[in-house]
Amino acid sequence: MYAVTNPSTGEVLAEYPTATDEQVEAAVASATTAYRTWARTSSPAERAELVRRLAQLHRDRQDELAAIIVREMGKPWEHATGEVEFAADIIEFYADNWEKITGDAPLDILGEGSAVVRRTPIGPLLGIMPWNFPYYQVARFAAPNLVVGNTIILKHAPQCPESAAAIQQMCLDAGFPEGAYVNVYASNEQAATIIADPRIQGVSVTGSERAGSAVAALAGQHLKKVALELGGSDPFILLSTDDLDAVVEQAVEARLDNSGQSCNAPKRFIVDESLFDAFAEKFTAAMTGTVMGDGFDESSEIGPLSSLAAAERLEAQVATAVEQGATLVTGGTRDGAFYSPTVLTDVTPDMDVYRQELFGPASVIYRVSGEEEAVALANDTAYGLGSYVYTTDAEQAERVADAIDAGMVYVNCVLADSPELPFGGVKRSGTSREMGLLAADEFVNKKLIRIAG
């Protein structure tokens, strides 16, 4: 089940045995034992220092770590090294801010005496992580929780066993006690067993809507806190600009980041009719001219999709859209796991693709007549992760940002994620926040301590 399969070639490079039930039990027991000392006898400052060492190890091993994920899921080398660096930045952010996420929050009270809210850890947590960002996704879940004092059991995606092992090794090399961070090659059925285990206090899932729904149902059955970071079909609204070439460049860069396999990438381009023709022409030309190739080739701007199955899935979505009446402007071809950058227009609400997430280098461009229609189209989706607004009108930017149903709105910028900024969505895109200080509040006991005067 766990294997490194290079999507550029289809070659299986390494296989890892799925954990036995005894190994799964050992992982839970180890995390539980470690929690008793990790949370109670180590100080937040001591935990933060180990987390800081973990960040540095990411930087020290950047090339080694990047090579692993190019092999595992095919992303271009520049994207891979950038991911490792960003993961290090996120981890370091929580080391730098340990006092803010573990300190008491005094309350103004009506009577005499004092009251504080004290954030304390709750216990071992299970993380179920996806393949598209093997280090970054783990960093934003694990780092704040390790500083707080929780322990982590990590079930990574089956196609990321080598990066999963590398993260655990870095935790050990940084000096974390045995069991503070445990990697386990669990099956879905074993993951369900872990969630049901009374020793596990919460579960975080980043992945598909289907996976999130299944885990949330199971967590609810066992009264476990669950954090969900799921899919997205983010709108990119263009209402006005003084530099269309720059907007197109940013639109293409954001759409093709990570070979188009990013949950918060813009996927629906909603363009005012006054700019539609020029935008569509320039955007299509840039997409068509993108260099596609092996991730280790420095000339490659995008790599293959993460697997043959992923490419076939996207191929089927685009083919169905065309069958239902959409116009294929460019792309729509597949060679193994490589899928050409694709642009669709003339998509209508009765087509399947109108409500789907296209997880790969495929885009839909819509023509709208003004702000009101743009916002209505942007919100006409079950997803609500990120969104992008381009306008030269500052007041319009405020109005549109306020009206969009999404967890994040970026105005006149893309790829602006940063460790201090919370990441998350609404509707079917998720229920929680990662990164920023808000991430550290997901799995803590906000304990009230009231002292009489």
Q: Catalytic residues, which ones?
A: 229, 263
- Strands 342-345 and 362-368, by their bridges, are parallel
Q: Return the ∠ at Cα 378 (arms to 426 and 215), rounded to 5°.
A: 30
Q: Please state, in angstroms and rounded to a whole number, the distance separating the CA atoms of residues 385 and 363.
A: 17
Among residues 154, 121, 136, the alpha carbon closest in space to that of 419 is found at: 136
DSSP 430: B
CB 153 within 8 A of CB 127: yes
Pairing of strands 105-106, 11-16: unpaired
Q: Please name which of 93, 85, 164, 169 lies closest in space to residue 434, comparing C-alpha atoms.
A: 93
User: Nearest CA to 422 among 401, 410, 408, 443?
Assistant: 408
In three-state secondary structure terms, 349 is coil
Q: Residues near 274 by Cβ (< 8 Å), separated by ≥ 6? A: none
Closest CA to 412 of 376, 377, 388, 440: 388
Distance CA 331, CA 352 (A): 19
β-pairing verdict for 342-345 and 327-330: antiparallel
Label residue 187 exposed, middle or buried (CB < 10 Å: 0-12, 13-18, 19+): middle
Percent helix, percent strand, percent coil in the chain, to nearest 5: 45, 20, 35
Amino acid at 64: E
Round to whole Å and give the CA distance between 334 and 312.
Answer: 8
Cα(205)–Cα(182) distance, integer angstroms: 16
Helix axes 44-60, 136-148, angle to 10 degrees: 160
CA 410, CA 395: separation in Å to the nearest integer? 15
